[in-house]
Structure 1
Amino acid sequence: MADTARTARQRSPLAHAAHRLAAATRASKGAIRLAELPLLAQVNVRLDAKSPAADAVGLALGLQLPLEPNTVVHAGEVTVVWLGPDEWLVVGRPGTQRALEERIRAAAGDEHVSVTDVSAQRTTLLVGGPRARDLLAHGCSLDLHPRAFGPGRSAQTMLARAHVVLVAREEPRAGFWVLVRSSFAGYLTDWLLDAAVEYR
């Protein structure tokens, strides 16, 4: 309950840009969709992938922690992004960070595990639409072709000189999540809006 009340009082770093993102989406006539997914719960988890805790935490979250580099798994309202051989980012709906932390800690038991709420560190931009890959390719050196970076893939990379976690969503036509540090969110939004002008 406390987390939900706290989330209601929090203000997204891009709250002021919501109307500009919506206007750019309308102007593209379906080619691009831009929006913020504000205040998502984000919990960083570090543990030995070969330990019993990895299986227990996955079971508690209703999925298996992704072990293949640069992949994402999704179950219900929880998404887990592979960040390193012993590191994952667990993403959930706003206000659930404490519940996620408690579930992970309880599942790990006495095993060595690090669980850190990093929800305030980043915000999430949704980049969707048929030209989403083209838009992102303007500022990202990754090969974003679906054969190389299809649904369920992720990467820690640079987008327009901002460090981001890029996630190709698994749902049909869901587009990409761009998780960016809150301090760079305004800059990256301005860049995306500028780059999207050609799709109007």
Structure 2
Amino acid sequence: MSLKPTTCKEAIARWERETGQTAAEATVVELQFQWPPIEKMDGALSSLTACEKLSLSSNMIDKIAGIAGMRNLKILSLGRNNIKSLAGIETVSESLEELWISYNVIDKLRGVAALRRLRVLYMSNNNVKEWVEFNRLQELPQLRDLVFIGNPLYDNQPDVETWRNQACRRLDQITKLDGIPIVRPDAE
């Protein structure tokens, strides 16, 4: 017997029952670890107009969708899903400050430049293999905190120091890499 995936609408209704809150008015909505897992982000999420932090981690979601109405969204947590690309994230580019998207299958960072306000990007354990993709992060002027370990690009460096030097040289706006503060020599 196979179980039907949980829809976003069902997950929101379940969350409201469990918390006693109205989802449309809540600033934090946690829909992680649904059983059966959510497979599709859909328009039901757009009803979360007051939401500043949305967690959909540990589901089976394969693409970002349905968040266009979330004008107050600052933190989006999508770790441990099956997401292949950042397509769809641009609909919250005016408000999003933190994207937690580790443990997915993302190999390209096309579209990341739309996230002009992004300060925190946790995307360890994805499939980014090439510096040309990593370099797209240069288009994020507010980015300060990046976690990138566990990507093939990181794993293919001879050692951690080589990785840190390369990454910091390419992203001079970041102040923290893989959880460790960056100490830069003072400009002469």
TM-score of the superposed pair, with normalisation by structure 1? 0.26
- Structure in which a larger fraction of residues adopt strand: 1
**Greater RCO, CA 8 A, separation 6+:** 1
- Structure in which a larger fraction of residues adopt helix: 1
